[in-house]
Amino acid sequence: MALKVQSRTDISAAVQAAVERHGTTAEALVPILSDVNRALGFLPQDAMTAISRSLRIPPSQVLSTASFYQMLSTRPRGKHVIKFCESAPCHVMGGRLVWKALQDALGLEPGQTSADGQWTLLTTSCPGVCGVGPVLIIDDEVHGNVTPEKVPEILAQYQEGGTSQ
């Protein structure tokens, strides 16, 4: 499954729906970016340009806002986004070995997306579940007490035909 290229129609529809939902004030920028990011899987340049026009704000402001928030992406992401906690409590509980197992299993470095469009690997600071570290979050599901041995089993849940999709 390759990454889907967004058509201008898809982009226009996503931006229009978000603007209709949130309005055209500068305060609506983050909610609009969030909606468009969710609809398209990332924020293509054409979408950011359309948002800039709709809100009558500089394109640089849209880009800087889109680049600031980790929940938003200006590059295509995989079908499943993995966020690995790199904070001290997870590190102390064996996070470095889990991180290595995760990178080895996926063949990815932080910030990369797999060629098949299945995975994007990111790091994150503390998600607030230190009691169950090491932690990784796939899409919106938290996986705690992860060991290197559990990594293949967890990833298998998200493969085509798996239970979590």
- Of the chain, the percentage scoring pLDDT greater than 90 comes to 71
pLDDT reported for residue 128? 86
Confidence of residue 8 (pLDDT cuts 50, 70, 90): confident
Long-range contacts of 106-110 (CB under 8 A, 24+ apart): 106/82, 106/155
| 43-92: pLDDT as tens digits | 999 999 999 999 999 999 999 999 998 889 999 888 899 999 989 998 89
Confidence of residue 114 (pLDDT cuts 50, 70, 90): very high
| Cβ–Cβ < 8 Å for 108, 155 | no
- How many residues comprise the chain? 165
Percentages of the chain per state (helix, strand, coil), in multiples of 5? 50, 10, 40
User: How many of the other CB atoms lie within 10 Å of CB of 133?
Assistant: 23
User: Which value, in Å, is the radius of gyration of the alpha carbons in the chain?
Assistant: 18
Sign of torsion over alpha carbons 81, 126, 60, 52: positive
| Cβ–Cβ < 8 Å for 85, 134 | yes
| 128-153: pLDDT as tens digits | 898 899 999 998 899 999 999 999 99
Full-model pTM: 0.74
Mean pLDDT of 109-125: 91
Write the DSSP assignment of 26-82 as a string of letters.
Answer: GGGHHHHHHHHHHHHSS--HHHHHHHHHHHT--HHHHHHHHHH-TT--SS---SEEE
**Does the pLDDT value for residue 33 go beyond 50?**
yes
pLDDT reported for residue 1? 37
